[in-house]
Amino acid sequence: MPANLPPQYFEAEQRFRQAQTPEDKIEALEEMLAIMPKHKGTDKLKAMLRERISKFKDQAQKKKGVSRQKTAYDIEKEGPAQTVIIGPPNTGKSSLVKLITNASPEVADFPHTTQKPTPGMAQYDNIQFQLIDTPPLTKDYTEPGLVDLIRRADIVVILLDLTADPMEQLEETLHILHSFRIYSEACTIPEDLRKPPRIKKMLVAVNKMDKPEDKETLDIFLELSGIKFPCIGISTRTCQNILVFLHTLYKLSGIIRVYTKPPGKEADKKSPFVVPSGSTLADLAGKVHKDFVHKLKYAKAWGKSVRDGQMVHRDYVLQDGDVVELCI
């Protein structure tokens, strides 16, 4: 499928080529990513741009060296996707992170318990996602480090309280994010922005859906809010929809799991290779070993889109759950 890139994309690409600093290159690449149409024909290009952004961020960080003092918000990404849990005070962010990760943030019934971000790893099948509990996001004051953390994250979860006017909470949270040029993929981006927006994959989770009758309240919220991105009701007290929450994070992450096997043996289903959706067999070969990219001849594949043991070539687009036997 062709990418069908608009003229604005190529203008941003030209700015990227003319940029002299890692920071300017990152800004141009993020603008290209924001402008790019969203369809299967751009998946591979998106993955390449994200990889370039990551590379230039590393360069920018090395350039700063010791001149920039690290803060509690400088959290290194672990696992295939870094997810920040944000929202108003007392919505249950710490309870959620404590429930499904190995972290132990302080949990209390009064607001502003969390003073600094706390990361933890959440298990989903045979991979782990990094979830980060954060201090409350309020219109009175937002810590600059928290804004930077949100901008760096792969996924942003907005946690709301079903019992405390979730409509107002959502509107206020989105207003704060938009004031820092942070938008969901589903949002309409204002044309008068002076700098490129940061486009994020977002999920709204409405907490404290503890009773059966709360489903009706959630349905009313969904209808009135007209929300355009994923939204689910959860309960950290009863564990309702927690597995659905994790599955949604997996879908939003834009990754797939692929397994390799030696000839005549079974694949190790406990240790998948995690690659961006749209990756090819050649991409996987490079991830297994850098020399395999050039030596790879073909592979045998088992999966939903192929016959068992079917021969596939370097340009074969991998699917989630594929098992491949590399032939070099």
Q: What is the pLDDT of residues 252-276, one digit of tens each?
A: 999 999 999 998 899 988 889 999 9
Question: Is 76 part of any domain?
Answer: no
Using an 8 Å Cβ cutoff, are 157 and 138 in contact? no
* Rounded distance between C-alpha atoms, residue 29 and residue 13, angstroms: 7
Q: What is the pLDDT of residues 120-167, one digit of tens each?
A: 999 999 999 999 999 999 888 888 899 999 999 999 999 999 999 999
| pLDDT score of 1 | 45
Question: Is 33 part of any domain?
Answer: yes
Examine the domain organization and report whether 247 and 99 are in the same domain: yes
| pLDDT score of 27 | 85
Which of these three, 252, 284, 306, is where a domain ends?
252
Using an 8 Å Cβ cutoff, are 215 and 232 in contact? no
Tokens of 197: 């927006």
* Rounded distance between C-alpha atoms, residue 105 and residue 95, angstroms: 8
Residues in the chain: 328
Beta strand spans in the chain (E): 82-86, 118-124, 127-133, 155-161, 182-184, 198-207, 231-233, 255-260, 273-276, 298-303, 306-312, 323-327
Q: Quote the number of domains for the chain.
A: 3
Helices (H), 142-280: 144-152, 166-179, 214-225, 242-252
CATH number of the domain residue 286 falls in = 3.10.20.30
* Rounded distance between C-alpha atoms, residue 177 and residue 199, angstroms: 11
Examine the domain organization and report whether 134 and 201 are in the same domain: yes
Q: Which residues of the chain have pLDDT under 70?
A: 1-3, 63-69, 106-114
| pLDDT score of 63 | 67
Examine the domain organization and report whether 183 and 225 are in the same domain: yes
Examine the domain organization and report whether 93 and 19 are in the same domain: no
Examine the domain organization and report whether 204 and 127 are in the same domain: yes
> Which CA distances in Å does 178 have to 64, 153, 166, 186, 196?
28, 16, 18, 13, 12
pTM > 0.85 = no
Domain region containing 36: 7-67
